[in-house]
Structure 1
């Protein structure tokens, strides 16, 4: 079995190894400075220590069975994997992290400093954090938690080093600036004063009493200054990333507003534009806006773009009757040509009499089909489509009705040019669609002829009615004339 380095199993295993490293990172320095292993605690500490060592040991076997990309292809040959890993610096780092210096306990007693090589595994911890930040949907949260962990770890190490200096280099005087207020071994007091010194947030009511103490104090302040600058930079980067989208969006809006002002665009039209931007920003915050879809997907190779487009648009495209039962390759090529368009309330998607060059599929929103008098003929909801004959007809095809957007509407658009460009590579689909288009056009023409025949028949009936009415009227008129004027009675 070969592990994929980009797979989820490899990721979760790296999280286990990172947890083992984090344990060593926090505990080793703590035991050196504060509370070393003794007979009362050795069972507890040994169980944790050697559990972490077992994880390190298993990680070496995991690395032997982890593939790598060779010319873009995952290498699964176990012999090549073993040779590559053993010839890399990672193998020697992993072996160094398991150096069994614990046997020195037998000669020198319990000294946690013998386990300091366990910290060499830090590269696995960094790799885990990097992948977590890249794969999560909340990268800024991960960055903030990572920063907080780093800060607390630095304070922890500084506290432990302060205790070592206090006990080793003569800073064991109660007047020393390192000394805690309550007790010589009060960890909370040491941690509190260490955080004050590192951040320069507190005044030094005590001074060092030895050269080592003075040197350590200076190093604390210098390192604290660098830490403070690093934290500010990191926080500024997080804030900038959070507000980057809003800043770019606001820049666009300001440019459009400046353009409309300089061009003296009517206020009513300016208000519509601003409302459109409001809707666009609301959609971006919900992750539903498709305006930047082309820019985002342009970063991906065609294959991935095709897969995403298939997931988003294929089922929608299959609803269109003329595209049903066509080749899969044709549909795969066609979905890449579909573009998302956004319409504001009151916008006309098309008007009656215009030359149709696109078809539309409703993704979100509500549209109305209007007659010449402005009455609503039909309401189009998500999943509806219209204009398919406009892109199938090789000649000019005028719109038969006007379509207006009731609210904010998101539509998928497919142009005639894109369709026929794709059809050049799929002659069978082209023949089929041309036959469907011809059949539909003949059906529409037959319907029109039927309407004309019905209209002609109705007109003839009307003429017969008028002729009969006129004939009766003239008959009555002549009858009255002969009866009243001449005196001849036809009855």
Structure 2
């Protein structure tokens, strides 16, 4: 009589299905039908059923949420990181246009995902790590005379020193007259090389610039401005010299390339004299400077 649906003459499958529906309604706290519990035993059993059901339901939701988050942990890390950035911008009351530039930088730098690449590579075996680095960066240095005929082991060691950087349109990557500390390889993007004579040269994917700082200690002879969002890899002078110390046979080859390069761009006079010492040359080996 308590059942609004007549199941007495139905199959056991229908009876079981309806009983399961009623039990799940109790446990998931959806309801317990038209008839309220009768008697204290029914009340306590109903409350116990609802508590157990609510607990199971909460555990199910929690596990489902954790599973969904684990499917894209890198995006979640990015979102958590950017929340800190937003709090930082709010704390310092940065203007709206600056906040937008910071937002755009993070979007292009991380593309919605954040990885601890240094930690990941550090956990791999050395052969596997070198294979990955060569796959990612070998094409960047393939067109550079400094590395074209170099020892493959030397090039691999050099590639491990590359640092990934992102620049926004209008950013000056290099300014004329400043001391050169890095050279850059363009993975993606377009830059303009600006010289004193207002001459402008465009460089795009696969090109490189600023390599003279690896060969001399002079100042930049041109400015370089990003025309689009640029994804670059940089090689610092210190890291270059550090690797060069491990491969002493490469010094003479690089000295020859340096002299030829400086000769072609008119950065020295007298055929064999540099205006400043090569990073690995002692001063006693150089002639008069100007």
Scaled by the length of structure 1, what TM-score is found?
A: 0.46
How far the C-alpha of 1:350 sits from its partner, in A, is 0.8
Residue 380 (structure 1) aligned to one of 203, 216, 220: 203
Unaligned runs of 5+ in 2: 272-290
Flag the 1:445–1:273 CA change in 2: closer, same or farther, 3 A.
Answer: same
Residue 103 (structure 2) aligned to one of 245, 267, 277: 277
Larger radius of gyration: 1
Q: Report the equivalent of 1:402.
A: 223
Q: Report the equivalent of 2:172.
A: 348
Q: Report the equivalent of 1:141.
A: none
Flag the 1:402–1:420 CA change in 2: closer, same or farther, 3 A.
Answer: same
For 1:195 and 1:229, how far apart are their aligned partners in 2?
A: 14
Secondary structure of the residue aligned to 2:186 is: strand
Q: Report the equivalent of 2:18.
A: 189
Instruction: Tell me, yes or no, if structure 1 residue 199 matches structure 2 residue 28.
Output: yes
How far the C-alpha of 1:359 sits from its partner, in A, is 0.8
Flag the 1:326–1:299 CA change in 2: closer, same or farther, 3 A.
Answer: closer
Question: What's the CA shift string for 1:195-244, capped at 9, x where partnerless?
Answer: 312212122445899xxx99986764343122122124335545766655
Instruction: Tell me, yes or no, if structure 1 residue 440 matches structure 2 residue 261.
Output: yes
For 1:319 and 1:207, how far apart are their aligned partners in 2?
A: 82
Q: Report the equivalent of 1:249.
A: 82
Residue 57 (structure 2) aligned to one of 228, 248, 267: 228
Contact 1:176/1:208 (<8 A) preserved: no
Q: Report the equivalent of 2:194.
A: 370
For 1:412 and 1:377, how far apart are their aligned partners in 2?
A: 22
Instruction: Tell me, yes or no, if structure 1 residue 411 matches structure 2 residue 235.
Output: no
How far the C-alpha of 1:284 sits from its partner, in A, is 3.3
Q: If each structure's helix is expressed as a fraction of its own residues, which one has the higher value?
A: 1
Secondary structure of the residue aligned to 2:246 is: coil
Flag the 1:284–1:222 CA change in 2: closer, same or farther, 3 A.
Answer: same
Flag the 1:311–1:216 CA change in 2: closer, same or farther, 3 A.
Answer: farther
Scaled by the length of structure 2, what TM-score is found?
A: 0.74
Question: What's the CA shift string for 1:426-451, capped at 9, x where partnerless?
Answer: 1222332222213323444598679x
Contact 1:362/1:385 (<8 A) preserved: yes
Give the count of matched residue pairs: 261
Q: Report the equivalent of 2:276.
A: none
Contact 2:190/2:202 (<8 A) preserved: yes
Relative contact order higher in (CA < 8 Å, ≥ 6 apart): 2
Flag the 1:446–1:332 CA change in 2: closer, same or farther, 3 A.
Answer: closer
Question: What's the CA shift string for 1:341-366, capped at 9, x where partnerless?
Answer: 11122111112222212110111221
Q: CA RMSD in A?
A: 3.7
Unaligned runs of 5+ in 1: 1-173, 451-491
Question: What's the CA shift string for 1:381-440, capped at 9, x where partnerless?
Answer: 1111012221133xx122221110112211100011101101111122233222221332
For 1:444 and 1:410, how far apart are their aligned partners in 2?
A: 27
Flag the 1:328–1:400 CA change in 2: closer, same or farther, 3 A.
Answer: same
For 1:389 and 1:233, how far apart are their aligned partners in 2?
A: 57
Contact 2:195/2:221 (<8 A) preserved: no
